[in-house]
């Protein structure tokens, strides 16, 4: 009987917005009980064919929704957010004065009056200091004595041995050593032995933070530390500010460490921002579709770069292999079979086999973006060996020395600014006005060759 009522209602003449007769009228017209009529109306509602307006009745169609526009933030709130973002991403050198008020007003499209009001408020909050008549600086810590020490902590073997594993890590070391010298700090090198969960110096001696009474902070690299939380727990014994280069997925970092007083975490290579930057760069060149080539797509950084490219609005054809996570996987595979002096050659051979397969999936004449410069270099080798012809426009990630040799446009992760911001945090410590309890992402850019 209910189905018959539903069919009768659907067959009756009606348009969206028309009101259904009352239950009493339908009972009389269709010769059905009240419960049957109400059950039929509920069925129509479940199918989205009618809706109830309390106090008014039942109507055909769907309820009209009123779109309520979000209240746009005012000019001052918008300026504050953009200015804080520029600070966090290193747009302004922390060791120099801010640009002129005229330049700032033009950048943020804000009136000179409102700009002065904000700058005044920023000074009151300790974010800026007023120097001279119209210049503003970021706050600086008083100059330390000549015996001030900074601990520089990286991974190491149990006997204190440490070998840089990549060009970017060498850049990180070089910039840290240089800036430490410019600031007249004594850098004390410490290694972290993951297996024993202890710190050792470069001579293999076990060390504790109490051995360094003049230490005022620590620069920490987590690159290639397999279990970084062991290191973070060991750092809890320190009583000075710590700047940590977090070379792991951002979402793996526990909030308890982000909120640790005097700690700051910095990221430059993980996340979607590198991919977004490359996508924006390509769009400015009029490129709307690319092929993304990665033999390391088991890694979060390869996945993030692909997602960043997509979120930039560019169309991406995936040419990825998800079995391996990094070049180290291929080298480890090569080390298991054959002499040590041919490990690199055999690792390259294996990567090239995967690349040959991935290249078959790429439409002709489409620009390529490789997950890093190493892959771009292997593609050039395949070209020199006669296996590839007419490689299209190519962009990589890392801005390595080889990218200059290859004349390869490549994304630079801005390691120098990363180190500058890490030192700046140490100098201010708990008084750092930019503490947010968030991972600080350092922006980079594509360097054209």
Q: What is the dihedral of CA 197, 199, 205, 208, to 10 degrees?
A: -110
Residues 322 and 429 grouped into a single domain: no
Residues 388 and 424 grouped into a single domain: no
End-to-end distance of the chain based on CA atoms, in angstroms?
Answer: 78
User: Which residue, 26, 60, 94, sits at the end of a domain?
Assistant: 60
Which residues have a Cβ under 8 Å from the Cβ of 248 and sit 6 or more positions away?
A: 222, 228, 270
Highest-scoring range by mean pLDDT, 42-56, 168-182, 354-368 = 168-182
Residues 252 and 339 grouped into a single domain: no
Report d(CA 227, CA 260) in Å as an integer: 19
Per the rule left: phi > 0, alpha: psi between -120 and 50, beta: everything else, 136 is: beta
At 78, is the pLDDT very low, low, confident or very high (cuts 50, 70, 90)?
confident
Residues 213 and 103 grouped into a single domain: no
Residue 223 lies in a domain: yes
Is pLDDT larger for residue 194 or for residue 90? 194
Report d(CA 175, CA 179) in Å as an integer: 6
Residue 91 lies in a domain: yes
CB 369 within 8 A of CB 278: yes
Structurally, how many domains does the chain consist of?
4
Residues 289 and 229 grouped into a single domain: no
CATH no. for residue 433? 3.40.50.720
The arithmetic mean of pLDDT across residues 191-204, rounded, is: 94
pLDDT at residue number 328: 84
CATH no. for residue 10? 1.10.10.10
pLDDT in tens, 389-436: 888 999 999 999 999 999 999 999 999 989 998 998 998 877 777 767
Q: pTM (2 decimals)?
A: 0.74
pLDDT in tens, 93-108: 777 788 888 888 888 8
* Tokens standing for residue 392: 């299209």
pLDDT at residue number 143: 52
pLDDT at residue number 68: 46
pLDDT at residue number 207: 96
pLDDT at residue number 8: 87
Measured N-to-C along each axis, helices 300-311 and 273-284 cross at an angle, to the nearest 10 degrees, of 40
Residues 53 and 100 grouped into a single domain: no
The arithmetic mean of pLDDT across residues 208-219, rounded, is: 94
Instruction: Tell me how far the alpha carbon of residue 19 is from its chain's centroid.
Output: 53
pLDDT at residue number 439: 87
Element (H, E) at 440: strand 440-441
The arithmetic mean of pLDDT across residues 166-188, rounded, is: 93
Contacts of range 40-45, beta carbons closer than 8 Å, 24 or more positions apart: 40/2, 40/5, 40/6, 40/9, 43/2, 43/6, 44/6, 44/9
Residues 120 and 157 grouped into a single domain: no
pLDDT at residue number 7: 86
Report d(CA 214, CA 148) in Å as an integer: 6
Report d(CA 173, CA 171) in Å as an integer: 5
Residue 71 lies in a domain: no
Structural domain boundaries enclosing 197: 149-269+417-442
Residues 228 and 260 grouped into a single domain: yes
Residues 192 and 263 grouped into a single domain: yes
Report d(CA 237, CA 209) in Å as an integer: 8
The arithmetic mean of pLDDT across residues 271-276, rounded, is: 93
At 10, is the pLDDT very low, low, confident or very high (cuts 50, 70, 90)?
confident
The arithmetic mean of pLDDT across residues 352-367, rounded, is: 88
Residue 66 lies in a domain: no
CB 198 within 8 A of CB 206: yes
Could you say which DSSP state residue 71 is in?
A: P
Within 119-214, strands assigned E span: 129-131, 135-137, 149-155, 186-193, 198-200, 206-207
Is pLDDT larger for residue 141 or for residue 223? 223
Residues 175 and 255 grouped into a single domain: yes
Instruction: Tell me how far the alpha carbon of residue 124 is from its chain's centroid.
Output: 31
Residues 161 and 242 grouped into a single domain: yes
Residues 34 and 107 grouped into a single domain: no
The arithmetic mean of pLDDT across residues 28-44, rounded, is: 87
The arithmetic mean of pLDDT across residues 381-392, rounded, is: 89
Residue 448 lies in a domain: no
In terms of residues, how long is the chain?
449
CATH no. for residue 356? 3.40.50.2300
The mean pLDDT of the chain is 87
Residue 333 lies in a domain: yes
Residue 144 lies in a domain: no
């Amino acid at each position: 009987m209910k189905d018959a009522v539903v069919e009768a209602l659907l067959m009756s003449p009606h348009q969206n917005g028309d009101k259904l007769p009352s239950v009493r009228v339908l009972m009389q017209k269709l010769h059905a009980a009240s419960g049957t009529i109400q059950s039929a109306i509920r069925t129509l509602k479940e199918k989205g064919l009618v809706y109830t307006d309390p106090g008014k009745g039942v109507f055909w169609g769907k309820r009209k929704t009123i779109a309520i526009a979000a209240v746009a933030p005012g000019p001052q709130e918008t300026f504050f957010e953009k200015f804080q973002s520029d600070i966090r991403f290193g747009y302004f050198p922390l060791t120099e004065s801010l640009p002129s008020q005229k330049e700032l007003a033009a950048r943020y499209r804000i009136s000179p009056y409102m700009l002065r009001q904000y700058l005044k408020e920023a000074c009151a909050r300790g974010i800026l200091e007023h120097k001279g008549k119209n210049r503003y600086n970021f706050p600086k810590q008083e100059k330390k004595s000549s015996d001030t020490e900074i601990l520089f902590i990286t991974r190491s073997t149990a006997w204190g041995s440490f070998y840089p594993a990549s060009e970017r890590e060498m850049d990180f070391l070089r910039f840290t050593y240089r800036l430490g010298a410019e600031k007249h700090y004594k850098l004390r090198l410490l290694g972290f032995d993951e297996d024993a969960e202890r710190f050792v110096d470069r001579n293999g001696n076990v060390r504790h933070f109490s051995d360094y009474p003049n230490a005022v902070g620590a620069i920490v690299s987590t690159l290639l530390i397999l279990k970084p939380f062991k290191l973070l727990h060991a750092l809890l014994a320190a009583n000075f500010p710590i700047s940590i280069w977090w070379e792991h997925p951002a979402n793996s970092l526990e909030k308890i460490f982000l909120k640790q007083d005097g700690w700051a975490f910095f990221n430059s290579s993980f996340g979607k921002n590198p991919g977004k930057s490359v996508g924006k760069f390509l769009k400015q060149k009029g490129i709307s579709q690319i092929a993304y080539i990665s033999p390391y797509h088991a890694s979060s950084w390869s996945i993030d770069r692909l997602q960043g490219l997509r979120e930039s609005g560019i169309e991406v054809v995936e040419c990825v292999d998800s079995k391996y996570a990094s070049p180290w996987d291929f080298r480890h595979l090569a080390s298991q079979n054959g002499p040590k002096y041919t490990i690199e050659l055999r690792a390259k051979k294996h990567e090239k086999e995967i690349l040959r397969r991935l290249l078959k999936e790429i439409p002709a004449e489409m620009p390529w973006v490789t997950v890093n410069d190493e892959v771009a270099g292997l593609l050039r080798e395949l070209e020199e060996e006669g296996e590839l012809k007419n490689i299209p426009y190519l962009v990589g990630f890392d801005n390595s020395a080889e990218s200059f040799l290859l004349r390869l446009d490549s994304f630079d992760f801005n390691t120098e600014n990363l180190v500058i911001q890490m030192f700046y945090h140490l100098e201010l410590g708990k008084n750092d006005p930019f503490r947010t309890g968030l991972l600080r992402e350092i922006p980079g850019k594509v360097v054209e060759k």
